């Protein structure tokens, strides 16, 4: 059943995916009303995704070469639940979430405060295409369901690579019908900090999550 629904969604990729991306990128759906509606419904439905992604982050094999994960950046952090999930699995480490929508940031800040994690989980209003963050300051960049909203994906990937330490990993998850193809991703990444590194784009997890979501994994090349 889950596989059948997933199959239908794959058929929707292409034209429908492009149309939805265009609407999302232009409509500003996360202005206050949109954010309120999203936050009332999505976090409860998406909790299994947040948990699985947080697990992916802390068990990411590519990070074995780094001394430890010391800081994680979430792009398009929305309601803030994923950043909190990750922080719970990485005691003492810093997690930063950035989002374009003020209403999302307000909700996420409140969540971190309620969880007693506001000393090391912070949320900032920012455009992922121009991150107000220092170069090479994160070990992991993670993002869920945000990629299809980015109006300039190449700029966001360039910024994600810039703030990652060499050897750091970007894990980007998106809905299967809206996800870019490997070829489109290669075009966005060309000439950027991930330059020439293989683009891993594929399944993750199983069941419901595998049917609906795609994972893109990029490693920032280590300096020679």
Q: Does 39 bind ligand SAM (CB under 6 A)?
A: no
Q: Does 63 bind ligand SAM (CB under 6 A)?
A: no
Cβ nearer to ligand SAM, comparing 7 with 153: 153
SS3 211: helix
Structural tokens at position 12 = 């929707």
Q: Does 127 bind ligand SAM (CB under 6 A)?
A: yes
Could you tell me which residues come within 8 angstroms of residue 145 by beta carbon, excluding any fewer than 6 positions away?
Answer: 46, 76, 78, 173, 174, 175
Contact flags string 68-97 toward ligand SAM, x per CB under 6 A: -------xxxxx------------------
> At its nearest, how many Å lie between ligand SAM and the CB of residue 55?
15
Cβ nearer to ligand SAM, comparing 65 with 125: 125
Q: Does 100 bind ligand SAM (CB under 6 A)?
A: yes
118-124-127 Cα angle (round to 5): 155
Distance CA 26, CA 147 (A): 14
Question: What is the widest separation between alpha-carbon atoms in the chain?
Answer: 48
Question: Of 6, 63, 86, 144, which one interacts with ligand SAM (CB under 6 A)?
Answer: 144
**How many residues of this chain bind ligand SAM (CB under 6 A)?**
21
Distances (CA, A) of 28 to 20, 34, 40: 13, 8, 18
- CA end-to-end distance (rounded Å), the chain: 48
Q: Does 200 bind ligand SAM (CB under 6 A)?
A: no
Which residues sit at the interface with ligand SAM, rule CB under 6 A?
30, 42, 46, 75-79, 98-101, 104, 127-129, 144-146, 149-150
């Amino acid at each position: 059943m889950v596989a059948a629904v997933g199959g239908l969604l794959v058929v929707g990729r292409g034209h429908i995916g492009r149309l939805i991306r265009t609407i999302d990128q232009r409509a500003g759906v996360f202005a206050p009303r949109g954010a309120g509606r999203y936050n009332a419904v999505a976090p409860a439905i998406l909790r299994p995704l947040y948990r699985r992604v947080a697990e992916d982050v802390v068990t990411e094999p590519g990070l074995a070469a780094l001394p430890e994960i010391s800081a994680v950046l979430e792009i398009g952090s929305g309601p803030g639940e994923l950043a909190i999930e990750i922080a719970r699995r990485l005691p003492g480490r810093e997690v930063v979430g950035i989002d374009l929508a003020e209403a999302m940031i307000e909700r996420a800040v409140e969540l971190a405060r309620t969880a007693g994690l506001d000393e090391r989980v912070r949320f900032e209003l920012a455009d992922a295409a121009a991150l107000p963050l220092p170069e090479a300051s994160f070990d992991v960049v993670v993002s869920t369901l945000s990629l299809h909203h980015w109006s300039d994906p190449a700029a966001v990937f360039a910024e994600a690579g810039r703030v990652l330490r060499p050897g750091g990993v970007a894990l980007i998850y998106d809905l299967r019908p809206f996800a870019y193809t490997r070829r489109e991703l290669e075009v966005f990444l060309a000439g950027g900090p991930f330059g020439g590194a293989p683009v891993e784009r594929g399944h993750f997890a199983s069941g419901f999550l595998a049917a609906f979501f795609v994972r893109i994994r990029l490693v920032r090349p280590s300096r020679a």
